[in-house]
Amino acid sequence: MKKNLKVANIGMMFGMCHVEGAMGYGAEIAAICDSNPDTLKAAGERYNIPEEKWVTDYMDIANNDEIDVVTVAIPDQQHKKVCCDLLRAGKHVLCEKPLALTREDVKEIIAVAEESGRKFMVGQICRFTPSFEKAKELIEEGTLGELYFIESEYAHDYMTFLKEWRADPKRHGVIGGGCHAVDLIRWLAGDPAEVFAYGTHKLLPMVEYDDATIAIMKFDDNLAGKVFVSTGCKRDYTMRTVIYGTKGTLICDNTSPTMTLFTTDENGITQDPQTIEVEVNNHNAVKEFAVFADAILNDKKVLTDALEGAKTVEVCLAIIESAKTGKIVKPNYEF
C-alpha cells in the first residue's frame, strides 16, 4: 500500500491524537492548524513540526492543493461548516464524533460528502478499541448465540473540562460523549427501532441539560438494549458493556485489560467464566487513521461514513427527546 498521503490536522487539543495517528501510520504532516496561536505553537513544538507548517486559518489548508487528507477536532458546533468547506475544496476528511448536533447539519454533511466524491469518516473511535473489536468478533463468529440484550454505558466526569461549547444545551451529554455508547450498540447490535429515556440532573449545576440519562431500546428480532450516560459521575472513565446472547455472555470495558466470557456446553449449561486479556487502548488513533487511509488509497467504503455518523446522532437525539417528552421515540434513519 502507498503511504505517501499528505495530511493536515485541525484543532490541537484532542486533535493531537490525529497527529499521532497519522504519524504512527507513516503519513507526512503537511500542516497543523489551531485558531489559538499558543495551542498551535505548543503542538508544533511537541511534534517537531516546522513553523512554516503552522496555520491559524483552516482555509489555508482547504486552499493548499498539496494536502490530501484533513482531520478535524474542533468544537462540535463547527463540524458542519469546516467539514463541508474542506470537502468542497476536494479534501478527504476525518471528523471527530459526534458528526454534528442537529439533523439539519448531518443532512448537509451527508449531501456535501456525496457530491464531493471524497472519502469522509466520522471518528467513532470505539470501533477500534481492542475489547470492542474482540466483542464484535465473538458476536460474528456466533460464540454468544443470538443476542437478546445489550447494554453499554458512557460514564465520564466532565467537571474539569467543561468548556463553554460543551455546556451548550445542544451539546447534551448524550450526544457529546454518550454517542460513543450509542454508536457501539449500533455497531454490535444494529439500529434500535424505538427508544425511551429518563434523565436526572444532580452533578453539573453549570449546564442546563441532564447530566445522567438512561435509555432503553427496542430492536427488531426480539432484542432489547440499554444505554446509560453520566457526564458528571464520581468515578473513573468507563464504557462498561455487557452483551447477553442465547449461548453466552460477554462483559467488557474500554478501560479494562480483561474481558469476561461465559459460554455454555452442548446442553446449554453455563460454564465457568473465561478471562480474555486485551490491550487497553481507548483512543486507537493509529488504527483509525490506517483504516481511513486504506479506504482512500484502495477506494473502499468507509466503515463510519457520514450516514453512519448521522444514524448515531439520530439515536442520541431520539433519546434526548424521549427524556424531555416522556414519550417513546422512533429514530428516523432517512436522511
Contact residues toward ligand NAD (CB under 6 A) are: 10-15, 33-36, 39, 58, 73-76, 78, 82, 96-97, 123, 125, 163, 283
Q: Helix, strand, or coil here: 245?
A: strand
Is the separation of the CB atoms in 100 and 84 below 8 Å? no
- Dist CA 181 CA 241 (whole Å): 8
**How far is residue 53 CA from its own chain's centroid?**
28
Name the residue nearer to ligand NAD (CB basis): 39 or 260.
Answer: 39
* Min CB(34)–ligand NAD separation in Å: 5
- Residue position matching grid coordinates 500542516: 31
* Min CB(240)–ligand NAD separation in Å: 16
Name the residue nearer to ligand NAD (CB basis): 74 or 261.
Answer: 74
**CB crowding 242-251: b at 16 or more within 10 Å, else e:** bbbbeebbbb
- Dist CA 195 CA 330 (whole Å): 6
Alpha-helix residue ranges (DSSP H) falling in the chain: 16-25, 37-46, 59-62, 79-88, 103-116, 130-140, 164-167, 173-176, 179-189, 285-297, 306-325
- Residue position matching grid coordinates 474482540: 134
Name the residue nearer to ligand NAD (CB basis): 134 or 171.
Answer: 171
* Min CB(144)–ligand NAD separation in Å: 26
* Min CB(232)–ligand NAD separation in Å: 16
* Min CB(261)–ligand NAD separation in Å: 26
* Min CB(198)–ligand NAD separation in Å: 24
* Min CB(180)–ligand NAD separation in Å: 7
- Dist CA 232 CA 166 (whole Å): 13
Name the residue nearer to ligand NAD (CB basis): 82 or 296.
Answer: 82
Name the residue nearer to ligand NAD (CB basis): 183 or 210.
Answer: 183
Angle at CA of residue 182, ends 178 and 184, nearest 5°: 115
Cβ-based neighbour number of residue 107 at 10 Å: 16
Is the separation of the CB atoms in 322 and 328 below 8 Å? yes
Distances (CA, A) of 188 to 223, 251, 263: 12, 13, 18
Name the residue nearer to ligand NAD (CB basis): 239 or 259.
Answer: 239
Name the residue nearer to ligand NAD (CB basis): 179 or 261.
Answer: 179
Question: What are residue 216's phi and psi, to 5 degrees?
Answer: -110, 155
- Dist CA 31 CA 49 (whole Å): 8
Name the residue nearer to ligand NAD (CB basis): 43 or 188.
Answer: 43
Name the residue nearer to ligand NAD (CB basis): 11 or 173.
Answer: 11
* Min CB(161)–ligand NAD separation in Å: 7
* Min CB(95)–ligand NAD separation in Å: 8
